[in-house]
Copies of this chain bind each other. A is one copy, B any other.
């Protein structure tokens, strides 16, 4: 399983380091999304704040994780599916935020709908965030 992590890093043309392995492992273990603060806590103060920031940045650039917009000024990150290539994110799925446990999930099977825009507006990307109660809390 650890070799899977190393493989994924190499496939993304990244050198294999302790912090990258650890952070990637956290994402693989976690069902929902993670904010920067969560990662710092879960990593157990082993890594510098700056390292975590830079690692997340790198992962986003390489298409390993993607960001999820929130209303409360805290960016959350989640693993990308296989069809996410470097620079081209295809995470056209709906994100779900649970009001009970406050976790964020990627609903990979729920595709973002098509929106009919007023004339003059062109659509390039669409973000859908649904709030409610998740299956674990209901």
Residues of A within 8 A of B (CB): 67-71, 73-75, 94, 96, 99, 107, 109-110, 113, 115-136, 138
Contacts and interface: CB of A to CB of B under 8 A. Distances in A.
Given A73-B75, A75-B71, A75-B73, A125 B131 contact: yes
Contact of A96 (B94, B110, B121): B121
B129 A133 contact: no
Contacts of A135: 118-121
21 contacts: A69-B69, A69-B70, A71-B75, A71-B127, A94-B115, A96-B121, A107-B121, A110-B116, A110-B118, A115-B128, A118-B135, A120-B136, A121-B135, A122-B132, A123-B132, A125-B131, A125-B132, A126-B131, A127-B128, A127-B130, A127-B131
